Amino acid sequence: MFVNLSGPHISSRSSKGVVAVSRADQEISKEDKQRVLSTTEAISIPANRKIVHVIPKEFIIDGEEGIKDPLGMHGVRLEVNALVVDCSVSIISNFTKAVEVSGLDVEELVVSPLASSRAVLSKRQKELGVLVLDIGGGTSGISIFEDGSIVHTSILPVGSAHITNDIAIGLRTEIDIAEKVKLEYGTADPGSVNKRDMIDLAELGFEDGGSVSRMHVAEIIQARLDEIFELTEKELKKVSKQGLLPGGVVLVGGGVKMPHIVEVAREKLKLPVQIGVPGQDFDGIVDRISDPEYAVLVGLALWGSDDPGITGSNASSGSGKSLWAKIMRSVRLFMP
């Protein structure tokens, strides 16, 4: 099975590779393509880290740049610019062991923001330039695409669970009560709340009772979301894409269902913003997976259906019964 991998221990870097075309007729073969991708792994990384993905950005044939797939083309010298994603060896080993102990075999580990991007982005968005921000529980994943290829990916050590923790501390309540407050009364924009609106904590099961201003809760949420968007802005600056992505920002993950989060993200990031919904490429009834919370799950199933030789490309998702069944099996594991 394909399993997502997340956490601040994941990092990415650009790498280049070059090989001579092996065939006498100078036609580039699948073996040439694999060889040049393998050369990008010859980079200096600590011994306690392992490469998880090598994703081609572009191929270059005899100096001609911007080639997405060189297979079948002719040339003497084949180069590639790729994104190399690596992770802590111990994290990978422990994570894989935990999955295998549960009786499942890990076929491939996929970094979460790449999986969610696979589920919600169109080819056109990737060509224009787009950022996917996946706000999960303990972390938030980022993937940046331009000219059809991935430019950068990163994991931020902040997620929606931190918002719940902040509310619990601010209101001096249990985590379960804080989660209920967030889900039932939370909003990303304090300006959308009437100053006199109050939340009765006793109605939510808080034994000590009492009430709290809904605006106060919104201000707590806003502070943590501001941090997530500021960290996202820093990642954009790293690759010089701040305010320069016509495709804007696509929000996914359970944490993006907060009211007014689109407006706040648009103001903070100075880019167009929308909620990403997986399952748009499928025919039939897709209401059970058309939720930003399931972006990673759907992405994993689509990733597993892709041709292994075109990792990182916008492969056709298909709509066959086997793929649909695979997605629904994955989603049911996480449905209440």
pLDDT over 90 percentage in the chain: 71
**If you average pLDDT over residues 113-129, what whole number do you get?**
94
At 115, the pLDDT band (50, 70, 90 cuts) reads very high
Tell whether the model's pLDDT for residue 320 goes beyond 50.
no
The per-residue pLDDT for range 134-172, each reduced to its tens digit, is 999 999 999 999 999 999 999 999 999 999 999 999 999
The per-residue pLDDT for range 15-58, each reduced to its tens digit, is 999 999 999 999 999 999 999 999 999 888 888 999 999 999 99
Q: Domain 160-224 falls in which CATH fold? A: Nucleotidyltransferase; domain 5 (3.30.420)
Rounded CA gap, 122 and 264, in Å? 24
Mean of the per-residue pLDDT values for the chain?
88
List beta partners, residue 119.
none
Give pairs for 237-241: CB < 8 Å, separation 24+. 238/152, 239/144, 239/151, 239/152, 241/129, 241/131, 241/144, 241/146, 241/151, 241/152
Tell whether the model's pLDDT for residue 244 goes beyond 70.
yes
Domain boundaries, the chain: 1-106, 160-224
Nearest one of 54, 36, 67, 43 to 114, comparing CA atoms: 54
Nearest one of 13, 12, 31 to 22, comparing CA atoms: 31
Tell whether the model's pLDDT for residue 287 goes beyond 70.
no
At 319, the pLDDT band (50, 70, 90 cuts) reads very low
Highest CATH level, class, for 1-106:
alpha beta
Rounded CA gap, 25 and 279, in Å? 43
The pLDDT score that the predictor gives to residue 291 is 87
The pLDDT score that the predictor gives to residue 315 is 35
